[in-house]
Structure 1
Amino acid sequence: MSLKIRMSGWKNRIAGWFIDREFFMRANGQVRFLKISAQLQRRAAATFASVIGVWLLVTFGMAINQVTVSAQRLALIEQEAKVESAEERVASYRGSIDEVTQDLERRQEMLESLGDQYLGDLPEAEAQAPSASADSREEEKAVKTISAIVPEAAGLARIEVRQIRFAEKMTKVAQARTLQAETAIRQFGLNPEVLARQARNAQGGLFEPFFGKGKKEARDPRFLNLAAALGRMDAMERALAAIPTAMPAASMMMSSGFGYRADPFTGAAAMHAGLDFKGPVGTPILAAAKGKVVLAGFNGGYGNSVEIRHANGLVTRYAHLSGVHVRRGQMVERGVQIGRMGSTGRSTGSHLHFEVRLNGQAINPRKFLEANPDVLKVQTVAEYRADSAAKE
């Protein structure tokens, strides 16, 4: 009963919207009346509602179609990225064993080159990775299928399986080393993702397929994963190696810390953007990390100064020197003498003012110079591997 009452109430309310309406218009001294009946209003409203309804249905249908097309496109991409089935590989071997042999030879050369460049000792790298995966076991089944259908290709199929297994191991090792480098970078109070973005912002070159002309290698997800893992590992280890952790002076006596202090000349509150190390005039000043000299000479209140640009936006500054031993544009190694301690510029006595800046922003160098020995060990290994890769 209550439902009928409610329905009746709604009908009466809607009926109240459409009533006969009269309008009058005055023009040239004459008055004209225009009457719009309730029935005409209802028909116009029904027509408008129908148009809106059709438009909504068409829009909804187009949206569903777009989603369906996108889903089909994603499914197609996933299908293309799937590892080839045994039947597909049998067809490849049947088509041209010579071509498959050339593809495998190119792949082997590339794997050996990547191993030497990024992972160094291959037996050591293999020892750090698991022996097999589900994909590898599937590959073993594929070898049996190929050997039974195309006996002359059995040897090549076994070589291909070993290559795939080795690629999987290399990927695992690269991921482990990346995690180790990222952990060490965080110990210094830096964000690995920020440093990784800095590395990606300075890349370029012509496009060359990762594994030569063979199409199946280029889309095999295991080799794409390997390329991505090695690239990130290399970026993280280079970023770790560039962090300035070596003491910049033979003197260990710190005379002023990082942050707000009373200015030594005026006594007013001031920001000190680095660390001060006190020592005799002529004390050797050393590069805190490997990099390129971007400034070597007088620099206003800093006096005689040296600035070294490292990787990923890091810059170190060495100020108030009595002498400069390097020139602009020169590459220097960690621990190499770049100048002598002094008191040039805005200084009250012989000392080194040492700064570290990331993308132009001063950061506290103390956390770099007081790093945990285990972290420094990881950094040393990363620096050695990064230098070895650069020489390849």
Structure 2
Amino acid sequence: MLKAVILIGGPQKGTRFRPLSFEVPKPLFPVAGVPMIQHHIEACAQVPGMQEILLIGFYQPDEALMQFLEAAQQEFNLPVRYLQEFAPLGTGGGLYHFRDQILAGGPEAFFVLNADVCSDFPLSAMLDAHRRQRHPFLLLGTTANRTQSLNYGCIVENPQTHEVLHYVEKPSTFISDIINCGIYLFSPEALTPLRDVFQRNQQERQLEDSPSSWPGAGTIRLEQDVFSVLAGKGQIYVHITEGIWSQIKSAGSALYASRLYLGRYQVTHPERLAKHTPGGPRIRGNVYIHPTAKVAPSAVLGPNVSIGKGVTVGEGVRLRESIVLHGATLQEHTCVLHSIVGWGSTVGRWARVEGTPNDPNPNDPRARMDSESLFKDGKLLPAITILGCRVRIPAEVLILNSIVLPHKELSRSFTNQIIL
């Protein structure tokens, strides 16, 4: 018997995902046509012996989240439950706080997945590795180039046994090109080190004699408090994957993740990919179109386009490397490239909405998405264009490398700006 835990965080996280996270919790943002964490749940549901999937976070259980959970339970015929933290407890605090629910029924092991990653989730391969050599912690790792590895948790392994000998979260100098994917397989005894961290935190808070800081005792960081401490002690091992993987920290990385998942649909969900049909729009590459969307036959879509529920795409529209969300309207002859068009937004005739991609170097097989800040030297860096909810773009204007906050009605062109 197996279980899975998906760590979804909470509203104070994901600030780099604004303004899109204003409208929907980040884990429910559509990537390649389905909510981000549906990819996780689909992967978990396919593992033989999976009995329950738990979501842990500190979002308020609003209507959108509850509807998603109910739909997921029906679709995958598995219990999918949300456990709400009383406060932000870090990547490990929620696991310890809800240990009784996780261990109920006596699972032999449980997967732990961060919500903000895109992957092909080689969970069965991880399970096989775990059963060949049981240890409390098995981490999924992949490779990054020397420079970008500094942005991740870095793993030094024994190449023969795959034991994690050293672990450093976001090191200041190069440690290893093997990085942590944020996907784990834990044995039940993995909760013992979390208990030790909790008790140590509790003692420290009591020594400080500060009751107001008491809730902090429950905060446990898997990476710094557990992995770094236990590395080299025969408890943590790594399984290296060569499959797709990326973090989803910003809107730009969501667009890149959409491309990765759309490509994977050719194998996993070919029914989700639009096909060119006589009298229909021209499809180039991998494109997802929701069944309720209305797309004019003269539109040209793709590659790597996702069109959401109730979207209207007019005659002569050109769409490439973009996500168009629920209820948006693209009027005749608009051009949308490397952009995300928000819920209910309207782009006028002959307007052009364009961003600058920040894709990994295609000539470097170990390259990952750069996690640069929005600004450099006080200027907005060129990046994808994001239109928030219910933005109105007038006819015949250019919106380039800009972020438009929700409910704005523009009257002219903008380049490299945040429109508040």
The two structures have a TM-score, normalised by structure 1, of 0.24
Question: Which structure has the larger Rg over C-alpha atoms?
Answer: 1
Choose between structure 1 and 2: higher helix proportion: 1
Choose between structure 1 and 2: higher strand proportion: 2
The two structures have a TM-score, normalised by structure 2, of 0.23
